[in-house]
Structure 1
Amino acid sequence: MADRPHTLDVQQFIDERRFSPYQWFILVLCFLVVAADGFDTAAIGFVAPALAVEWQVSKTALAPVMSAALAGLALGALMAGPMADRMGRKKVLVGSVLIFALFSIVCAFASSVTELTVMRFLTGIGLGAAMPNATTLMAEYAPARRRSLVVNTMFCGFTLGASAGGLVAALLLPHYGWRSVFITGGVFPLLLVVVLLALPESIRFMVLRDWPRAKIAAVLQRIAPGMAFGQMRFVLPEEVSLQQQTGLSVVLSPRFRSGTAMLWLTYFCGLLVFYLLTSWLPTLMHDVGYAAREAALVSALFPLGGGIGAIAMGWLMDRFEPHRVIALAFTLTALFVWMVGQQASHLMWLALLTFVAGVCMNGAQSSLPALAAAFYPTSGRATGVAWMLGVGRLGGILGAFAGGLLLQANFAFSTIFAWLALPSLAAAAALLVKGIVMRARAG
């Protein structure tokens, strides 16, 4: 008589083992995807002064170009989440990287503000679809005890990529012009697409969609090479009722609705601050008397500090209550952003405070996808993460437009940064509310 198959909880299997070389391979590839995403997202802010000079347009006329990619990011994220929960994380991830790579190169051949606006919007669709799927895929291969640290480490790619955009722009702009920055931002992810074909599909998604047992076992054997799985039946540690729901129905269900709203509000406020600064800080510094090179280098310090912040936040979230940890970081962001506005005439202090504000801001913002990934079940995880990113992009769009409006209204440097402290405080409050609601339900 044949042996009855044993049951294996795939998440428990991952949780009980060390982080294997195969999981490191997945982390590196997801890191590179997010780095390319960060580079292409921030590139327009660094080339804006050169664009304004070459095309002889005002700074405010570039506001549509600044916000076009953000609109595409929102649309791409909103579409990609439900698609990934239905089709798989890998397919959507590879396709999205290919889209933003190609359209980034096309941006280099734009000859007017209108053309560049359209191309940046299409680039943004690919960018918006890539990040939530890289986050979801990585979260589903990370052990629970280290999930926040692993996902936040992956997210360091975004801040380093955005910072690299400033450094590359400072090197290329004087010699090759703004078009070279877009070409650089497209060629790298185009080469990366080839390597991404070696990525596995999410192990939890394969179990959820009842993929052939042999395919699931093959991936698990790469995580634990010496283990045999025989006739094991693979399962998820989640309620069957949740596994049978669509991604969007999970995210908007009464059980998750209030947490979803607070995540959306937090990400909205965070991106408002982030994109106003990354899009307009070079121009704001130029207006108070700094050269384009100084403005680009100081502005690059803001996203650069996020790498330190993200890793520190991930470590803290795995050890303490994550909502309080991130809320504290947003509160410190408000303080240091306000202090940046007080140092317009002191370059060294301005650079130092910009870096510290970036550590807090990007550390907090980079931690939200890990928080969302832990909040939602497998059937709604890609949608939950993607819709938080997509709805939050509206804050980025507002930030990009608001920067132009504030410049047009001739607000002082210090006044702009004082106003920017308020959304950071609102983000902190929203997270504290979400934490209180979750603890009350658990109790």
Structure 2
Amino acid sequence: MNKKIIDVENFLDNNRFSAFQWKILVLCFLVVFIDGLDTAAMGYIAPSLIAEWQVSKAALAPVMSAALLGLAFGALTAGPLADVFGRKKVIVISTVLFGAMTLASAAAWSLGSLTFFRFVTGLGLGAALPNAVTLMSEYVPHRRRSILSTLMFCGLSIGSASAGFVASAVVPSYGWRSLLFIGGVLPLICALFLVFILPESVRFLVCRNAPAERIARILRKISSSVDFTNATFVLPESVNPQSRTSSPVFALFANNNGLGTLMLWLTYFMGLIIVYTVTGWLPTMMIEAGVSVTQAAVVTGLFLTGSTVGNIVMGWLMDRMSGYVVISTAYAASALCMIAIAFHPLNDVMMQQMLVFLAGLAMGCQVQTVILATQFYRTQYRATGVSWVLGVGRFGGVVGASMGGILLSRGWQPHEIFLALAVPAGVAALAICIKGVYYTFRPNPVPAVNAESLG
């Protein structure tokens, strides 16, 4: 009997987005949501830590930066592991890791122990996010890949915002440890659902020559009308058997990937400089300009609100036009917004609310840069590609988190800082533009798949 050849990508594109795929989206959303909540938790418990342990703000700095460094290193290591052992395994292990370490942080007895626990927590957080993004992107049809991946990614900002509401409800009554306790229990509960419900990436299974029946069991949950009897599953990607033993990191620079990889790194790095500088230092600059604490918090919150709205709008646009055009235009618009903010007094609250919201709207392209990475890399090294974009970009976050304070301490005025932020925005726009032009004329070589190589 002749074997049927089923192209998994065509199968996903030609079938409706099923209830099974919505379950995957919800589970990945929960992972990213809890990731955002745990990442933001330290900012809300810092005042209580200073009061209880009688430490200075400077002494707390290593604790605050430990998770950021852990996030970077976790992302850099998790991608290659996921491309070898699978997305699901890494997601489950990393979720358990950051849950357990957040619980350990709740029991910390000194700044040193808390710093260590937060660093290891960051390793888990940094590993979970890129693999959740990758797994989700590998289950959505091409025509809806950007918007559905974006909806899942919004869990990060919603989780970060929710940390403030949870903190205001529990920290005054139960102390700072209660927030970390909640942040530790939630991922452990989530991990149970991940173990029993979340499937492995079907694309990954095809690339790893998993048994056909295992792949068929997953695809039947998407469409029960297709007969998978005696089927062979393929992808429209060439799989070099030797690439399975080589480093996935090396693959990011092979097969004409090098320029695209560097441009994605540069773009995300520059974008996080802007995000962390604005969210970390805009309130301080506005308060020093005579704005009340409440108004400064509202204006900064509008940046995050605008970013969330921008994520969804740009995800919708990227499914309908060139992602390169959408992202490069958005970064260019963010540069103009930074210039506009610089030329208006910070104490003009109404005008700043509008400008900061527009800047956040434009910076929604930051998430789309990650979505673009999921579409740029092939299945064999997609997790590595996405995680390294996020990991390298995290160092931009470290730069942004410290840059505002350094520049202010050296006498820079707020308008000078915002003019300076137009530079990384412009660089990011140029980098994506270069990537788009280059791969329009020199696309990645993806020859027609050989059915036997993936059989």
Corresponding residue of 2:204: 205
Pairwise CA distance, 1:173:
4.8
Corresponding residue of 2:237: 238
Higher mean C-alpha deviation, range 280-289 or range 218-227? 280-289
Higher mean C-alpha deviation, range 180-189 or range 154-163? 180-189
Corresponding residue of 1:18: 16
Pairwise CA distance, 1:162:
1.8
Residue 61 to residue 291, structure 1, CA distance change in 2 (3 Å): farther
Pairwise CA distance, 1:281:
4.0
Contact 1:338–1:418, Cα closer than 8 Å, also in 2: yes
Corresponding residue of 2:404: 403
Residue 332 to residue 66, structure 1, CA distance change in 2 (3 Å): farther
Contact 1:42–1:279, Cα closer than 8 Å, also in 2: no
- Rounded to whole Å, the distance in 1 between the matches of 2:415 and 2:334 is 15
Contact 1:69–1:123, Cα closer than 8 Å, also in 2: yes
Equivalent residue letter for 1:321: S
Pairwise CA distance, 1:256:
0.2
Corresponding residue of 2:226: 227
Are 2:61 and 1:63 aligned?
yes
Higher mean C-alpha deviation, range 60-69 or range 250-259? 60-69
- Rounded to whole Å, the distance in 2 between the matches of 1:105 and 1:290 is 37
When the two chains are superposed, the root-mean-square deviation of aligned CA atoms in Å is 2.4
Corresponding residue SS for 2:221? helix
Corresponding residue of 2:450: none
- Rounded to whole Å, the distance in 1 between the matches of 2:298 and 2:38 is 17
Pairwise CA distance, 1:130:
0.6
Pairwise CA distance, 1:105:
2.8
- Rounded to whole Å, the distance in 1 between the matches of 2:296 and 2:55 is 20
Corresponding residue of 1:435: 436
Higher mean C-alpha deviation, range 388-397 or range 284-293? 284-293
- Tell me the alpha carbon deviations over residues 144-171 of structure 1, each in whole angstroms, 9 at most, x when there is no partner: 1111111111111112112223333444
- Tell me the alpha carbon deviations over residues 22-54 of structure 1, each in whole angstroms, 9 at most, x when there is no partner: 111111111111111122223333444554455
- Rounded to whole Å, the distance in 2 between the matches of 1:288 and 1:175 is 33
- Rounded to whole Å, the distance in 1 between the matches of 2:123 and 2:301 is 24
- Rounded to whole Å, the distance in 1 between the matches of 2:238 and 2:225 is 31
- Tell me the alpha carbon deviations over residues 221-248 of structure 1, each in whole angstroms, 9 at most, x when there is no partner: 0000232210001111111328844422
Corresponding residue of 1:316: 317
Higher mean C-alpha deviation, range 17-26 or range 34-43? 34-43
Corresponding residue of 1:149: 147
Q: Choose from 128, 144, 169 the match for 1:130.
A: 128
Pairwise CA distance, 1:60:
4.5
Q: Choose from 165, 189, 192 the match for 1:191.
A: 189
Corresponding residue SS for 1:305? helix
Corresponding residue of 1:359: 361
- Rounded to whole Å, the distance in 2 between the matches of 1:133 and 1:47 is 28
Higher mean C-alpha deviation, range 283-292 or range 227-236? 283-292
Higher mean C-alpha deviation, range 398-407 or range 256-265? 398-407
Equivalent residue letter for 1:151: S
- Rounded to whole Å, the distance in 2 between the matches of 1:285 and 1:174 is 27
- Rounded to whole Å, the distance in 2 between the matches of 1:292 and 1:118 is 32
Q: How does 1:203-282 map to 2 (within 5 A)?
A: 203-241=202-240, 244-245=243-244, 246=246, 247-282=248-283
- Rounded to whole Å, the distance in 2 between the matches of 1:322 and 1:373 is 12
Pairwise CA distance, 1:431:
0.4
Corresponding residue SS for 1:255? coil
- Tell me the alpha carbon deviations over residues 96-128 of structure 1, each in whole angstroms, 9 at most, x when there is no partner: 111112222333343544333322211110111
Residue 422 to residue 60, structure 1, CA distance change in 2 (3 Å): farther
Residue 392 to residue 206, structure 1, CA distance change in 2 (3 Å): same
Corresponding residue of 2:451: none
Residue 166 to residue 426, structure 1, CA distance change in 2 (3 Å): farther
Residue 104 to residue 339, structure 1, CA distance change in 2 (3 Å): farther
Higher mean C-alpha deviation, range 111-120 or range 191-200? 111-120
Higher mean C-alpha deviation, range 111-120 or range 128-137? 111-120
Residue 352 to residue 400, structure 1, CA distance change in 2 (3 Å): same
Q: How does 1:281-320 map to 2 (within 5 A)?
A: 281-288=282-289, 295-320=296-321
Corresponding residue SS for 1:8? strand
Contact 1:167–1:296, Cα closer than 8 Å, also in 2: no
Corresponding residue of 1:9: 7
Pairwise CA distance, 1:172:
4.5
Pairwise CA distance, 1:79:
0.8
Contact 1:35–1:162, Cα closer than 8 Å, also in 2: yes
Q: What is the aligned-residue identity percentage?
A: 48
TM-score, scaled relative to structure 2: 0.89
Residue 425 to residue 110, structure 1, CA distance change in 2 (3 Å): farther
- Rounded to whole Å, the distance in 2 between the matches of 1:174 and 1:347 is 30
Q: Choose from 91, 94, 97 the match for 2:95.
A: 97
Residue 107 to residue 41, structure 1, CA distance change in 2 (3 Å): same
Equivalent residue letter for 1:257: G
Contact 2:286–2:347, Cα closer than 8 Å, also in 1: no
TM-score, scaled relative to structure 1: 0.91
Residue 330 to residue 345, structure 1, CA distance change in 2 (3 Å): same
Corresponding residue of 2:416: 415
Equivalent residue letter for 2:423: L
- Rounded to whole Å, the distance in 2 between the matches of 1:6 and 1:298 is 58
Contact 1:36–1:185, Cα closer than 8 Å, also in 2: yes
Corresponding residue SS for 2:16? coil
- Rounded to whole Å, the distance in 2 between the matches of 1:42 and 1:92 is 22
Residue 344 to residue 66, structure 1, CA distance change in 2 (3 Å): farther
- Rounded to whole Å, the distance in 2 between the matches of 1:37 and 1:306 is 18
